[in-house]
């Protein structure tokens, strides 16, 4: 079993839809959870960061971590064409490098 | 502007011709890393460096070399490139791994094609 699993998609939604992106992981020692966004022909950029379990909201974006289920989610409300990108989950335990999911490609049509 | 720069951005070369991809960061970061990104395989770490003169292998180090003589620079060297090294390469840097929070800042990427 891979340490981090992420459905690669692609995922296509109409503008205004609610998008749910997910990752599962196997290592219960992971404590730091991130979502990166990567536009075409660009490097990934940090979008959301969560420590341990719980929710974090930033505008239209909400990150959730459920450590009991080893499951993290990113929700995008009122999705916009500018949200079209690849979203990568990443996680780590203290003192170690980030482990990335393979990324989910999202396309939001107007 | 705080950034990670890579050069070249695009490179087409032939099998066996040594090449170097440069990476530089201006954020005084201790940790630097190289990744390759391939369709269906995601980001895979090639090498990383915790600080000057300290480097270590990542998940896919075969066929690559790195050096960290200065804090800001972390070049990736392909001594004898092969077609299976055709990929999109990213350099990244962060403050370090201590404490766990490790936001990595990525460069713009280098698309390498080996014929």
Cβ contacts from A onto B, under 8 A: 58
- Rounded Cα distance, B98 and A65, in Å: 22
- Whether residue B15 is predicted with pLDDT greater than 90 in this model: the reply is yes
Q: Tell me the Cα Rg of chain A.
A: 13
- Whether residue B30 is predicted with pLDDT greater than 80 in this model: the reply is yes
Provide the pLDDT for residue B107. 97
Cβ of residue B90 closer than 8 Å to a chain A Cβ? yes
Cβ of residue B54 closer than 8 Å to a chain A Cβ? no
Provide the pLDDT for residue A1. 63
Cβ of residue B109 closer than 8 Å to a chain A Cβ? yes
Report which of B102, B112, B92, B81 is spatially closest to residue B5, judged by C-alpha positions: B92
- Rounded Cα distance, A68 and A47, in Å: 23
Q: What does the DSSP assignment read for A50-86?
A: EESSEEEEETTEEEEEETTTTEEEEEESS--GGG-EE
- Whether residue A80 is predicted with pLDDT greater than 70 in this model: the reply is yes
Of all residues in chain A, what percent carry a pLDDT higher than 90? 84
Q: pLDDT by residue (tens digit) across B69-109?
A: 999 999 999 999 999 999 999 999 998 777 667 789 999 99
- Rounded Cα distance, B92 and A34, in Å: 15
From the list B48, B99, B107, the residue facing A43 with the nearest CB is B107
Of all residues in chain B, what percent carry a pLDDT higher than 70? 97
Q: Tell me the Cα Rg of chain B.
A: 13
Q: Which residues of A touch B (CB under 8 A)?
A: 6, 8, 31-32, 34, 41-46, 49, 51, 88, 92-98, 100-103
Of all residues in chain B, what percent carry a pLDDT higher than 90? 86
Specify the range with the lowest mean pLDDT, choosing from A11-25, A94-108, B75-89: A94-108
């Amino acid at each position: 079993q891979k340490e981090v699993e992420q459905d690669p998609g692609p995922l296509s939604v109409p503008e205004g839809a609610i998008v749910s992106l997910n990752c599962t992981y196997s290592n219960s020692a992971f404590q730091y959870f991130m979502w990166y966004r990567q536009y075409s022909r660009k490097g990934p950029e940090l979008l959301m960061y969560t420590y341990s379990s719980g929710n974090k909201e930033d505008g239209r974006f909400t990150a959730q971590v459920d450590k009991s289920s080893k499951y993290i989610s990113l929700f995008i409300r009122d999705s916009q064409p500018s949200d079209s990108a690849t979203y990568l989950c990443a996680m780590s335990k203290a003192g170690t490098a980030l482990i990335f999911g393979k990324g989910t490609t999202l396309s939001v049509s107007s | 502007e705080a950034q990670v720069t890579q050069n070249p951005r695009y490179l087409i070369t032939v099998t066996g011709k040594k090449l170097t991809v440069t990476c530089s960061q201006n954020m005084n970061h201790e940790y630097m890393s190289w990744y390759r990104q391939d369709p269906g395989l995601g980001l895979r770490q090639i090498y990383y460096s915790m600080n000057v003169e300290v480097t270590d292998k990542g998940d896919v180090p075969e066929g690559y070399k790195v050096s960290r003589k200065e804090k800001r620079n972390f070049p990736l060297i392909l001594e004898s490139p092969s077609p299976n090294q055709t990929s999109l390469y990213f350099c990244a840097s962060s403050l370090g791994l201590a404490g766990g929070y490790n936001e990595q800042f990525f460069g713009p990427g280098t698309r390498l094609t080996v014929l």
